[in-house]
């Protein structure tokens, strides 16, 4: 991994930190300014509460797009391959299918942050192209 493939956006949602590879991010906007036609990716198992999720992150895979709500955008981080641990098959389930790995990051004041690496292919709402075709 190098360059863009090591770059992630770190964001906060429902008490958890998530990493989304920068190469998949189309834009970040206020949730109320997002395209109303944009299908929303539902991260199954996380508590609801969209009122406290003021940001919408547009994920793009080719021409396919979906939005993910976020409570806070922490920033851009570089995560090296050595910091990432793939989830073993034994812990994967339907509930966490959107998580491909986890990473332990340096936090503030000498602390550490456990962040989950998202895999767009696992989102409950399929990424759809601009014509709405699956």
Q: What is the pLDDT of residues 68-125, one digit of tens each?
A: 989 999 999 999 988 999 988 887 776 777 888 999 998 878 889 999 999 877 665 5
Query: So what's the pLDDT on residue 134?
Result: 47
Query: So what's the pLDDT on residue 125?
Result: 54
Q: What angle do CA 14, 15, 20 make, to 5 degrees?
A: 75
Residue 55: CB atoms within 10 A of its CB come to 20
Q: Does the pLDDT value for residue 66 go beyond 80?
A: yes
> What is the rounded average pLDDT of the residues 16-36?
91
Under 8 Å between Cβ of 11 and 17: yes
Q: Does the pLDDT value for residue 128 go beyond 90?
A: no
Query: So what's the pLDDT on residue 133?
Result: 47
Query: So what's the pLDDT on residue 124?
Result: 54
């Amino acid at each position: 991994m190098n360059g863009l493939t090591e770059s992630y956006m770190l964001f906060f949602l429902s008490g958890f930190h998530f990493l989304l590879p920068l190469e998949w991010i189309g834009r970040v906007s206020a949730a109320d300014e997002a395209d109303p036609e944009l299908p929303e990716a539902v991260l199954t198992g996380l508590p609801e509460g969209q009122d406290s999720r003021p940001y919408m992150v547009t994920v793009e895979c080719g021409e396919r797009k979906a939005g993910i709500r976020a409570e806070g955008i922490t920033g851009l981080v570089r995560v090296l391959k050595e910091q990432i641990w793939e989830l073993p098959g034994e812990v994967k389930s339907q509930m966490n299918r959107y998580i491909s790995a986890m990473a332990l990051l340096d936090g503030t004041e000498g602390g550490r942050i456990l962040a989950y690496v998202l895999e767009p292919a696992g989102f409950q709402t399929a990424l759809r192209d601009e014509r709405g075709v699956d």
